Structure 1
């Protein structure tokens, strides 16, 4: 692997991230914003309450919404290629 691992502490546990364009991961460019908007609409007091809110929100996302996000993936890949791997909107 030519990319280096970057360590980041978040919600009390270590997560390993690879450097990569976040705009190419459907979870990053769409799903996490849905989860954050709904699950974090009110502050969560504990990690457990945050986990419950995230799971509840995930279960409430319509399958058609997820299909739309995945269908958009090929368009985003083309934009990335057109931008030679650089930033794109």
Structure 2
């Protein structure tokens, strides 16, 4: 089956990483571009391994749902922390 184009349901960066980083990085309100880069690097390094394991497990379940839906929109996405 071809990969569904522009599918945020199947992109861990879209369904997890960007929102997670935004919630962490902007807490201290970086003042410079370098502060922002440093905060992003620090927060990525601080993501617990258990959380990453959950994201990858969730990714596999999303792929399975996509196959079951024959590439159509995923009506019920799976969110787990």
Same fold by TM-score greater than 0.5? yes
Point out where structure 1 has 5 or more consecutive residues left out of the alignment: 1-18
The question of 1:82 aligning with 2:68 is answered yes
Q: Report matched runs for 1:44-63 at 5 Å.
A: 44-63=30-49
How many Å separate the matches in 2 of 1:32 and 1:26? 9
More helix per residue: 1 or 2? 2
String of CA shifts for 1:17-46, please: whole Å, max 9, x gaps: xx5202211122112221111012243222
Instruction: Kindly report the root-mean-square deviation, in angstroms, between the aligned alpha carbons of the 2 structures.
Output: 1.7
Task: Give the count of matched residue pairs.
Answer: 71
More strand per residue: 1 or 2? 1
The question of 1:35 aligning with 2:21 is answered yes
Which structure carries more relative contact order (alpha carbon 8 Å, separation 6+)? 2
